[in-house]
Amino acid sequence: MSDRLLEVFSEGLSIPVAELNDETSPTNTSAWDSLAAMEMVTLIEDEFDVRLKVAEIMKMRSIGLARTVLRGKGVEGI
Amino acid sequence: MTVTDPSTVVGLTASFTPQPLVRPLRAALESALESVLGDSATAEVLVADFNQVHQTLLDPASSFEKPLDRLLVLWRIEDVFSAAVTIWVIESGDASALVADVRQLGALVAQAAAAGVPVVATIPPVPEFSWLDPLDTRTSVRLTVLHGQLVAAFVDGIGQAPVTLVDLAALQRQHGSARAHDTRNDLMYHQPYTSEFAKVLGTLLGEALAQLGRPTPKVLAVDADNTLWGGIVGEDGADGILIGDSFPGNGFRALQQGLAYQAANGALLAMVSKNNEQDVEEVFDNRSGDMVLGRSSFAAKRVDWNSKADNIAAIAAELNLGIDSFVFIDDNDVELDEVRQRLSGVEVVKVTDEASEIAELTAGFKAFRFARVSQEDRERTAMMQIEADRKSAASGALSHEDFLRSLELTVRVFEPTEAHVGRVAQLINKTNQFNLTTIRRDEAEVAALVADGTHRVYAAEVSDRFGGYGLVAVAIVETGAERWDVDTFLMSCRVLRRGVEDAILACIAEDAAAVGATALRGRYVPSAKNVQVADFYTERGFSSSGEGQYDAVLPIAPAADHVTVLRDA
């Protein structure tokens, strides 16, 4: 079963899924700049059909933290 | 086989963050190009620095890393003229300065187009404000009037220059402002749109770009029965066909109104009908009160029993027009199919039996969607370019220097206090592009340097006649007795290319000379993002004195005179 969240980040960062994990963050990934962050907010909202508040976006400082935020919003299967 | 470079380079400058538009834009452009150039058609979209519309128009070549095939200009009144329009909405007052500024922006668009790169520009939407009730009638009436004035001024400024306009105002209206606008994205990213609307807008822009230089379909060849009217005149008689004010004739009447409108805008109408000519003539005679189109509306008529493909080809020969300038409109699939197969290049449009689709048929003619100011006729365009050149020479073409002077730029350079430390640290940590050394420091480190006797921290606030930009630049200098070393020099992209950086550097040099130092040293540390400042010091007369190290002897040249520099006492 593929990881939908990793696929979203893979698209947003243009990095293969295999090179991403929950530790991936702006500090260890140069592609994760402010424009990529903006794009990923859109991708995440479209993929998981959620609306993120500013505070939630700010918490998403790694893929793992994004996963935590989305689970907290009731997104299942990630 | 024509040899055409399959790669189209589009330069995009916008008053907001346009990146979400790029993907749908490129997809729409590539798919449209593929139909002309084949599968190898590719499009590349280069994005200029954020909210640098004036600067990009003045100097497109240095705003993009390679020569452009097309320039796309996206702007909103509330971005480019933020302060002026906000004040106007809140306090009313005189809008004449704003109107003049918008006309000047139109003139800049014309200037860029006259320089040779085809330009697509948006008609800006009615300004939106998160704090304003959109149904506040008093303000919405005033805003609508102002918007009309500003759009007129923009179009007037463009004049006859070869600029294609895309009506962003109309698109936003059609889509619904509430569904188009996303306040969170606007506040966080300067990206005003929902992802849904970004896709719609990007696609429309891609289509507009693809349309440039494409021949516009000029002839609308229309069938008569069940197209211009409901029913079959040969069977129902002129009095029996459905056309007029009441349903379902009113759907066909709307279609005729649409065709009349297209004709008024330069299209030619041709009638291609399998009928006895006598029957059709009777309709013109007996139903003229119900019809919108009359005999004289048609530049050519073929009412006989010949093949419609043959008739269209004959009309093309008669009007001396290429077959690819024809659109064929009919309700009969067999007729449509024959034309499609035998006359490749003719666009075919089917008239269904659904009243609403009939009434809306001409609204779907995308070929007529993008206003071309003088795009239709190349010779005319060339003449108008000369005219535009002459006019701009007479009125004094705006140089970059003139523009900078007209900005009334003020830079306040000061030593930050405790109140500024947060903002200074924020800039230090988030500025990537205009950042000479990309040394990151937290608030405590900044506060320590502010207090430290061996360093001086500079901050700069910038404003111009459009409004204030706040604290947007930071420099940190190690103040040696003989030589001052610039450790950090960074600036927000919002104030790029206006001479702000020179004003700050001049202040540093002046302060150094004032306390007896004789040299100024700067460093450039390359990062993935800061290549735009690689030559910052050499461009300002510093000489290289080692890897990434540049020295100047004091004093250095003062800042350009278009900047008013304020220093704290």
**If you write DSSP's letter for every residue of B41-94 in order, what string do you get?**
-EEEEEEPSTT-HHHHHH-HHHHSSS--SEEEEE--HHHHTHHHHHHHHHH---
pLDDT digits (tens, 9 = 90+) for A20-76: 999 999 999 999 998 899 999 999 999 999 999 999 999 999 999 999 999 999 998
List the single residue in A33, A35, A46 with the smallest CB-CB distance to B195: A46
Nearest partner of B567 among B504, B515, B522, B513, judged by Cα: B504
Q: Which residues of A touch B (CB under 8 A)?
A: 30, 33-35, 38-39, 41-42, 45-46, 53-54, 57
**pLDDT attached to residue B73:** 98
Per DSSP, the three-state class of B499 is coil
pTM recorded for the entire structure: 0.72
B533-to-B210, B437, B551 alpha-carbon distances in Å: 35, 10, 16
Mean pLDDT of chain B: 88
Best mutation target, B195, B429, B494, to test chain A (most A CBs within 10 A): B195
Cross-chain Cβ contact A38/B188 below 8 Å: yes
**pLDDT attached to residue B218:** 79
Best mutation target, B21, B130, B188, B432, to test chain A (most A CBs within 10 A): B188
Cross-chain Cβ contact A38/B19 below 8 Å: yes
pLDDT digits (tens, 9 = 90+) for B551-565: 999 988 887 888 999
Residue B335, pLDDT above cutoff 50: yes
Residue A77, pLDDT above cutoff 90: no
Domain boundaries, chain A: 4-72
**pLDDT attached to residue B375:** 37
Residue B453's Cβ-count burial label (10 Å; 0-12, 13-18, 19+) is exposed
Q: What is the mean pLDDT of residues B161-168?
A: 90
Domain boundaries, chain B: 7-211, 219-364, 408-567
Q: What is the mean pLDDT of residues B257-273?
A: 90
Contacts of A46 in chain B (CB under 8 A): 195
Best mutation target, B189, B435, B494, to test chain A (most A CBs within 10 A): B189
Q: What stretches of B233-332 show up as alpha helix (H) in DSSP?
A: 233-236, 249-264, 277-286, 308-319
Distance CA B563, CA B502 (A): 9
**pLDDT attached to residue B325:** 86
Cross-chain Cβ contact A34/B529 below 8 Å: no
pLDDT digits (tens, 9 = 90+) for B401-447: 777 888 888 999 999 998 899 999 999 988 888 999 999 999 999 99
Residue B65, pLDDT above cutoff 80: yes
Contacts of B432 in chain A (CB under 8 A): 33
CA Rg, chain B, in Å? 30
**pLDDT attached to residue B407:** 81
Residue B17's Cβ-count burial label (10 Å; 0-12, 13-18, 19+) is buried
Q: What is the mean pLDDT of residues B206-235?
A: 88
For residue B41, name the pLDDT band (cuts at 50, 70, 90).
confident
Distance CA B310, CA B328 (A): 13
**pLDDT attached to residue B215:** 64
Cross-chain Cβ contact A39/B184 below 8 Å: no
Per DSSP, the three-state class of B407 is helix
- For chain B, first and last CA: distance in Å? 72
Residue pairs between chains A and B whose CB atoms are closer than 8 Å: 27
Q: Give B216 or B394, the one with higher predicted confidence.
A: B216
For residue B382, name the pLDDT band (cuts at 50, 70, 90).
very low
Residue B28, pLDDT above cutoff 80: yes
Q: What is the mean pLDDT of residues B304-315?
A: 93
Give me the CATH topology for the region A4-72. Answer: 1.10.1200
CATH 3.40.50.150 is held by the domain B7-211: no
Per DSSP, the three-state class of B291 is coil
Residue B381, pLDDT above cutoff 60: no
**pLDDT attached to residue B383:** 39
For residue B391, name the pLDDT band (cuts at 50, 70, 90).
very low
- This complex has an ipTM of 0.91
How distant is the Cα of B437 from the closest Cα of chain A, in angstroms? 17
Residue B32, pLDDT above cutoff 60: yes
Distance CA A25, CA A23 (A): 6
Residue B568, pLDDT above cutoff 80: no
pLDDT digits (tens, 9 = 90+) for B485-529: 999 999 987 788 788 999 999 999 999 999 999 999 999 999 988
Residue with tokens 């830079």: B411
Best mean pLDDT range from B94-103, B320-329, B368-377:
B94-103
Q: What is the mean pLDDT of residues B50-78?
A: 91
For residue B474, name the pLDDT band (cuts at 50, 70, 90).
very high
Cross-chain Cβ contact A54/B184 below 8 Å: yes
**pLDDT attached to residue B322:** 87
Cross-chain Cβ contact A45/B195 below 8 Å: yes
**pLDDT attached to residue B205:** 95
Q: Which residues of B touch A (CB under 8 A)?
A: 17, 19-20, 184-185, 187-189, 191, 195, 198, 430, 432, 528-529
Residue B377, pLDDT above cutoff 50: no
Q: Domain B408-567: give its CATH code.
A: 3.40.630.30
List the single residue in B20, B430, B432 with the smallest CB-CB distance to A39: B20
For residue B351, name the pLDDT band (cuts at 50, 70, 90).
very high
Same fold, B7-211 and B219-364: yes
Residue B393, pLDDT above cutoff 70: no
How distant is the Cα of B194 from the closest Cα of chain A, in angstroms? 9
Residue B378, pLDDT above cutoff 60: no
Q: What is the mean pLDDT of residues B194-204?
A: 95
Architecture of domain B219-364: 3-Layer(aba) Sandwich (3.40)
